[in-house]
Chains A and B, each alone.
Chain A
Amino acid sequence: MKLLDDAIPSQSTSTVTEAISSVESRWTQFTSRFVDRMNPILVKETRQALKSHQFIVTLQLVLLAILVWTLLGTSLLSPQIFYAPTGPQMLIGYMMILLVPTGIIVPMATYRSMSNEVEHGTFEVLSISTLSANQIVTGKVAVAALQTLLYLSALAPCISVTYLLRGLSISTLLIVLGSSFLLSLVLSCFSVFAATLGKRFSRLIVITMLMQLLFTSTVTLIMGIMLLQMISMNWIPDDMGQWFGIVAAVVAALSYSWLFLRLAAANISFESDNHSTAIRWSVWGQHALFVSIFVMMQVFVVDYEVWMVLFTILGVHWSVFGAFSICESGMLSPRAQRQLPTTIASRLFLTWFSPGPGTGYIFCVVSYFSALIGVILLPLFIHRLSSGSNQSEAIDYGLLVGSYIAVYLGITRLILLAFQPWLRNRVVSGLAILATLLMMGIIIPMMYSYLTETNNQIKYTPVAILNVTWSLTKMYEVRASGGMLFFSLAAAIVFQINLLLVSKDVMLVRIAAPERVQKELAPSGSNEPAVDPLAV
C-alpha cells in the first residue's frame, strides 16, 4: 500500500517534470533557431557587453543615479508631491540621467566598437568572412539599439511613477521616450559612419573622433533642451500640422540614419564593389522625401516661401552629395560593370545611379531640377495655388540655386578631368578645387565692386552673381541686375559640356559574369541539369 502511495505521486511528478522539460527544450530550440537568424555581430557584441566593465559600470551608475534622483526629487518636491502635479519635474531629472547613456555613452561605445575593429586588427578577419558590409554596420547599430532599450527599461518603473504623479500625458511621455531612442539611434549610425572614415582615411582618425564627439554632444544638447521644454510644457501636439511635423522629423531622422549606414557600409566594403548606387538611391530617396513633405505642407501653408526653404535644403543636399560624387574614380570595376542597366528605358533612367564622377554630376543636377519643374507644374494639380509673383520669385530662387550647383560642381569636375593624371587623392583635390572656386566667387565680385565704385562702397553688381550667399540673400538685386540670365546660360553651357563628356560612361554596357559565377549565384535548384528530351 505504501509502495502504491509512493508510486502515484512519483508518477504524476515525473509526468509534470517531463512536461516542463519538454516545454523547456522546445523553448530552447525556438530561441536557438531565433538567435541563429540574428546578426552575428549582435550576438557577439551582446556576449561581450554583458561581460564588459563599461556596460556593467554604466548601467550600475545609471541605476544609482535614478535611485538618488528618486529620493532627492521626492524630498525636494515634498509636501506638494502629495497634492500638486509634480510628474514633469521628476521626469526632467530622469531624462537628464537617461540622456547621458543614450546620447553620449552608447554612441561613443558604438564608435569605439567599430574603430577598435580597425585598430586591433580584427576587422580584416571579419571582412574576409561572408558577412556583408551592411551586416557589419547594422550589427553595430543593433547593439546600440539594444543597449538603449536596456537603459530605457531600467527607467521604465520611474516613468510610470512620473505619470502617477500627474501633470504628464501619455502622448508627451511616448514622444519624449521615442525621441530619446531615436536620438540614440541616429547618433549611433553617425558614430559607425565616423569610425569607418577612420578606416578609409587612417590619417584622419583623430579628426573623425573629434567630429563624432562634437556632433553627438551638440545634437544631444539641442535635443535635451527641446525635450526638457517639451516636458515642462507638457506639450501635446494638438493639430494635424504638429503631428505632421513630428512624423516628418522622425522620417527625416530615420532617412539620415539609413544614409549614414549606407555610407559606412561603402567605406568598409571591398574596393572593387559598387559603392555608389546604393548611396545614390538613398540620397534620391531623401530628395523625394523632402519634396513630398513640402508638397504635403501645402495642405497647411499656402505660401511660396516654403518652396524657397525647400530649394535651400535641396541645394545644400545636392551640393554636399555632388561635391563627393564628382570626386569618384572614373574607372568602373568589372564587378560594377556587371550591374549596369541593360534595357533602353533602364539605361535612360538608371545609368545615373552607376558609379562615376560624370554620372554623379548629371544625377545631382537633374534631380535638383526635377524638383524645380515639379514646383512650376504644381498649380496645375493644386488649384488653390495661383501662379502669381510669389511663385515667380520662388522659381527664380530655385533656378539660381540650381545654376550654382550646375556651374560650381560642373567646373570642378572639368578641372578634375583635366588634371586627372596628376591627382593623387581625388576627394581632397576635388573639395579643395570646389572651395577655391567658391572663395573666388566671393573675392572677385568684392574686388570688382571695390575698384569700380568711386566711393569705395561695396555694391551688388552683375558680377556679384558669382557669390552664392550674397546673391541668394539679395534676390531682389539679382533680378534687377540681369545677372540671373547670364548665370543661367552659363549653367546650361557647363551642363552641356559635362553631358557631352559623360557620353562614354553612358555607352558602357553590362558585362556578363562568367558561367561558373552565374551557376554559383543562381538560386539553388535552378542549376540542376535539364532533362534531355531525347533520352529514353
Chain B
Amino acid sequence: MLYQASHPLIELRRLHRFYGKTHAVNDVSFEVDRGQVFGFIGPNGAGKTTSMRILATLDLPTYGDALIDGFSSITDPDLVRKRMGFMPDGFGTYPYMNCEEYLDFFARSYGMVGMERVRGVRRVLGFTGLDKIADKPINGLSKGMRQRLSLGRAMIHDPAVLILDEPANGLDPRARIELRQMIRQLAVDGKAILVSSHILTELAEMVDHVGIIERGNLLAVGCLDEIRRKMQGSTVIEVNLLENADQCRIWLSSRTPTLKIEQQGNRVRFDFSGTEREQAELLRSIILEGFFVLAWTAETHSLEDIFMQITTGAVQ
C-alpha cells in the first residue's frame, strides 16, 4: 500500500505555462480530495489539457507546481506515476495486440508481477466490460470500446488519482452513460478524479466540483452549487397553488414590497435572493397563512448556463 497522507490528492499551486507570448495556463490553483470528481471545463485552447499534461508528468510548468498525493510532478515524477492514471484525449494503439495483451503489457510496465498482474488485468477487464472481447485485436475495436480500454489502462495499477481528458469524446449515448457510471463508481471507491469534457450536461451529472478555465485563467472554482448560487444572485421560485393565487401574490407583495412577482392562473413566480433556509421558511409561512400549495419549484441555472455566463468565448 502506498504511503497516503491527509492532504488533497490533486493540487495545482499557482500553475503557469507559457509558450512564447501565449499564456496557456496562467496562475491556476485548485485542489481535489479523495472521492471527489472534479470537472475541468473550458473552451478549446483554454489550458485544460496543458494543466492535465503537467499533472500527468508529460510537461513542465514555467512556474508553480502540480502535486499528486503531495508529491511534485516536477521533482518526483516517478512517485507521481505510481499514484496516477492518465487517459489522454488521443489513444495510440499497438498493432498485433489484443485487449488482454495490451493491459498485461501495461500491468508489467507498472511493475505488477505474478498473480497480482493476472488479478489486475481480470479486475480491469471486468470493470470496463471488456472481458467478453479480451482476445479481440485492438485495431478492430469501436471508439467506445477503445475509450474503455484506455480507461482500463489508466486504472490497471489501481492508482489513487485518475486524470481523464475528454473521456466521453465521440461516444454514443449508451457508452456515455456507462462511462459516467464507471467514473462515479471509481469516485465511490475513493479515487480522486479530474475530468475534462465539452459535454457539459454529461459532466454536470458526474462532478461534485468544477473549475471553469478560459484563456489560461481559472474563472471559477468550487462546489457546483456554490458557483451556481454565486452566479445566479437570485433564484426564480414558482409556486403552484390550488386556489387563491391572486391573494397569495398580494400577501407576498405586502411581505416584501420590492419583490418582483408575476401571476399566471394559479401559478405565482417571483425572484428570491435568500438562502435555502430562508426559502424553506417562506414556504412554511405561506402554508401557515392558509394557502394550499401544490408545488414549489426553485429554478436553478444549469452548468451550461453558468458556463455561458462566466466565459466570454474569447480564444487565444
Q: How far is the CA of A52 from the CA of B114 in the complex (A)?
A: 27
What A residues does B215 contact at CB under 8 A? none
A388 on the interface (CB 8 Å rule)?
no
Which of A43-51, A280-288, A320-328 interfaces with chain B? A43-51
Are A272 and B74 interface neighbours, CB within 8 A?
yes
Partner of A128, one of B57, B111, B113: B57
What B residues does A44 contact at CB under 8 A? 94, 97, 101, 105, 108
How many residues of A sit at the interface, in one of the four size bands? 35 or more
A520 on the interface (CB 8 Å rule)?
yes
Q: How far is the CA of A122 from the CA of B91 in the complex (A)?
A: 7
- Interface residues of B, dominant DSSP: loop
What A residues does B90 contact at CB under 8 A? 121
Report if A130-B57 is in contact (Cβ < 8 Å); known contacts: A32-B114, A52-B95, A125-B92.
Answer: no
What is the chain A residue whose CB lies nearest that of B3?
Answer: A520
- Residue among A40, A51, A52, A521 facing the most chain B CB atoms (10 A cut-off): A40
Query: Binary interface profile of A, 332-362, with partner B (CB < 8 Å = 1, else 0)?
Result: 0111001000000000000000000000000
Report if A271-B60 is in contact (Cβ < 8 Å); known contacts: A121-B92, A131-B109.
Answer: yes
A383 on the interface (CB 8 Å rule)?
no
- Interface residues of A, dominant DSSP: helix
Are B105 and A40 interface neighbours, CB within 8 A?
yes
A516 on the interface (CB 8 Å rule)?
yes
What A residues does B78 contact at CB under 8 A? 130
B81 on the interface (CB 8 Å rule)?
yes
Q: How far is the CA of A125 from the CA of B105 in the complex (A)?
A: 12
Are B77 and A129 interface neighbours, CB within 8 A?
no
What B residues does A513 contact at CB under 8 A? 75-76
* Count of chain B residues near A, Cβ 8 A: 39
Q: How far is the CA of A37 from the CA of B114 in the complex (A)?
A: 10
In the assembled complex, how far is the CB of residue A271 from the closest CB belonging to chain B, in whole angstroms? 5
B269 on the interface (CB 8 Å rule)?
no
What A residues does B58 contact at CB under 8 A? 124, 127-128
Are B77 and A517 interface neighbours, CB within 8 A?
no
Are B114 and A128 interface neighbours, CB within 8 A?
no
Query: Binary interface profile of B, 265-293, with partner A (CB < 8 Å = 1, else 0)?
Result: 00000000000000000000000000000
What is the chain A residue whose CB lies nearest that of B89?
Answer: A121
Report if A40-B108 is in contact (Cβ < 8 Å); known contacts: A47-B101, A124-B58, A520-B3.
Answer: yes
Of the A-B pairs whose beta carbons lie under 8 Å apart in the complex, a sample of 13, sorted by A's number, is: A32-B114, A33-B114, A36-B108, A44-B101, A44-B105, A121-B92, A123-B92, A125-B86, A126-B109, A270-B77, A334-B74, A338-B75, A520-B79
Contacts from B to A (Cβ < 8 Å) = 3, 5, 56-58, 60, 70-71, 74-79, 81-82, 84, 86, 88, 90-97, 101, 105-106, 108-111, 113-114, 117, 153, 157
User: Which 4 A/B pairs are nearest by Cβ-Cβ distance?
Assistant: A121-B92, A40-B108, A129-B109, A122-B92
Contacts from A to B (Cβ < 8 Å) = 32-33, 36-37, 40, 43-44, 47-48, 51-52, 120-131, 270-272, 333-335, 338, 513, 516-517, 519-521
- Known A-B contacts: A124-B58, A124-B88. Give 4 more (CB < 8 A): A36-B114, A121-B91, A516-B3, A516-B70
